[in-house]
Amino acid sequence: MSSRGQQQPSTAAHPVRVQSMTKEYPNGKIAVEEVSFELSPGTFLVLLGPSGSGKTTMLRCLAGIERMSAGRIDIGGRAVAAPGTHLPPEQRELAMVFQDYALWPHLCARDNVAFALKRRGVRREEARWRAEALLGRLGIGALCDRFPSELSGGEQQRVGLARALIGDTGLLLCDEPLSNLDAALREQMRIEISSLVREAGTTTIYITHDQAEAFALADRIGVLERGHLVQLAEPETIYAAPATPFVARFTGLAGELAVRIVGRTPTGAVEVQLSAGTSPTPLRATPGAGLEQHAGDALLLVRPAAVSLVAPDGTGCQLFARVTDVAFRGVGYEHAVVLADGTPLNGIFSPRRARWGENVGVALQPSGCLAFPAGAVASATAVGR
């Protein structure tokens, strides 16, 4: 798998292979179970999951801060963790960006960054000069002498990023680096991380619970649920063909409809009818995992982008709804509606503003409607698609 960025992978970028990673705590809680994946050099992997899904534990095991209970990790073709082997973090040739920045409060911005060059045996003066140059590139060259307490959150995270990049290590780990920043700064920092990391060509593993951040950054996304890697794929695949309803839900839905399968088309789509109420025409949907031979009741998971508002008596109207909320989003309006049977659909974009309480028609794009067998909520285990 090659990087989607414009830059070629750095010659120093490491391939990463994780086999059956399992982490069980002394209290018996299993944080990560049997997770396996491989990354080619220069790949930007985002591990996406809710709180408690095991993503931070995975990252800490990769860093060597935590010791795995079982499994094997190879970084740059070298086993850094395996039964009987556990290399400490400093011997794994990696760098890390921390959620809380973890800048040493007694060192100024320059010295925090220069610290990471000690492992390279760089002379003190040169290290400081290189740190200043990198901080300058990140737009905070004038703040080199400031201590962390004298920097804003965004500036602190830029120092953290510079510290992680300056050592030119083969693997960069990012532990929710944007979660402490406000929305505007988050977007700005996301762009900076993306461009700098791709320019460096470093293999990157980045964890977040924000699906928008994941889609914007990743070459590949791994979705974690309760310690299991339930899907690992390109962002487009994750969005178009989620492996489980959990993945679909976690990566953004307008709503869920209880439906009944009434037929199949030659192109492979399924035709469904609402379980409660009727629609003017049958709905078409993309079959999800487990629906190949399934008939009867199903769950229709609808992506926001697949929903559009139409006139209730116009062509293309498939469902009737009433507008319950309208939010101005700059380039248009985001609507929430409730269908005739009471099912809500949210996040429906339209360039035209509908009125509160207005009766509208709803049209659904089959590619954004994903049908899963009814009751399919259990997590899949390690699916590497």
Partner 1 sequence: MATLQQHLPLPAALKPPEGGGPPNNGETPPGRRGLARLRQDPQLVARGGLAAFWALLAALIVLPCACFLVLAVSPRLFGQGPQWFTLSYLRQVFTGTTAVSLVDSLWVSAAAAGIGLLVGVPIAWLSNRTLLPGRRFVAGAMWLVLLLPSWLPASGWERLVQPDGVMYRIGLNFPFVTSTIMGPFGVVLLLGLRCVPFSYLAITAALRGLGQEYEDAARTHGASRITSLRLLVPILAPAITSAIAIGFAESVSDFGVAATLAYRANFPLATYQLFADVNGFPPSFPGAAAIGWLLVGSVAVPLALQARALRGRAYRVLSGRSRAAVRRRLSRGGLIASLTVVIGYFAVALGVPGFGALSSSVLSDYGASLRPTLVNYRAVFNNSGLSGPLERSLIYGLIAATVTVALGFLCANLLSRRASASGTLLDFLLLAAVALPGVVFGAGYIFAYNLPALSHVGLDLYQTTTLLVVAYVASSMPTNARVLVGAVSQVDASLRNAARAHGASATRAWARGVLPAISRPVLMAWLLTFSGILLELPLSQLLYAPGSPPASVAIEDNLGNYHFGVGTAQAVVAVAIAFTVVGLALMLFRLVTPAGWRHVGEGVNE
For 245, list phi and psi in degrees, rounded to 5.
Answer: -55, -35
266 near partner 1, judged by CB under 8 A: no
Select from 29-37, 40-48, 160-168, 266-274 the region that touches partner 1 (CB under 8 A): 160-168
29 near partner 1, judged by CB under 8 A: no
- Which among 353, 187, 354, 377 is positioned nearest to 301, based on CA atoms? 377
Select from 89-97, 124-132, 209-217, 348-356 the region that touches partner 1 (CB under 8 A): 89-97
115 near partner 1, judged by CB under 8 A: yes
* Interface pick for partner 1 out of 70, 82, 87, 102 (rule CB under 8 A): 102
73 near partner 1, judged by CB under 8 A: no
Q: How far is CA 43 from CA 56, 95, 187, 236, 259, in A?
A: 19, 15, 21, 16, 39
* Neighbouring residues of 123: CB distance < 8 A, sequence distance ≥ 6: none
Q: How far is CA 322 from CA 7, 258, 305, 349, 361, in A?
A: 48, 19, 19, 15, 8
User: Using alpha carbons only, what angle is made at residue 172 by residues 23 and 132, rounded to the nearest 5 degrees?
Assistant: 140
* Interface pick for partner 1 out of 116, 165, 178, 289 (rule CB under 8 A): 116
Provide the minimum distance between the beta carbon of 190 and partner 1 in the complex, in angstroms, as a whole number. Answer: 20
Count of residues that interact with partner 1, criterion CB under 8 A: 29
Q: Which of residues 120-149 bind partner 1 (CB under 8 A)?
A: 149
Q: How far is CA 251 from CA 49, 78, 134, 354, in A?
A: 9, 34, 35, 26
Q: What are the beta bridge partners of residue 96?
A: 173
Sign of CA dihedral 278, 283, 286, 290: positive
* Interface pick for partner 1 out of 27, 106, 184, 313 (rule CB under 8 A): 106
Q: Is 57 exposed, middle or buried (0-12, 13-18, 19+ CB in 10 A)?
A: buried
180 near partner 1, judged by CB under 8 A: yes
99 near partner 1, judged by CB under 8 A: yes
- Asked whether 163 and 112 are in contact (CB, 8 A), the reply is yes
* Interface pick for partner 1 out of 14, 55, 163, 190 (rule CB under 8 A): 163
- Which among 227, 271, 247 is positioned nearest to 56, based on CA atoms? 227
d(CA 145, CA 45): 34
118 near partner 1, judged by CB under 8 A: yes
154 near partner 1, judged by CB under 8 A: no
378 near partner 1, judged by CB under 8 A: no
95 near partner 1, judged by CB under 8 A: yes
Closest to partner 1 by CB, 118 or 385: 118
Question: Are β-strands 203-208 and 44-48 bridged in parallel, bridged antiparallel, or unpaired?
Answer: parallel
Closest to partner 1 by CB, 54 or 245: 54
Closest to partner 1 by CB, 150 or 325: 150
- Asked whether 310 and 363 are in contact (CB, 8 A), the reply is yes
* Interface pick for partner 1 out of 105, 266, 351, 357 (rule CB under 8 A): 105
Provide the minimum distance between the beta carbon of 119 and partner 1 in the complex, in angstroms, as a whole number. Answer: 3
* Interface pick for partner 1 out of 20, 65, 195, 332 (rule CB under 8 A): 65
Which residues here bind partner 1, judged by CB under 8 A?
Answer: 60, 63-65, 88-90, 92, 94-96, 98-100, 102-106, 115-116, 118-119, 149, 163-164, 167, 173, 180
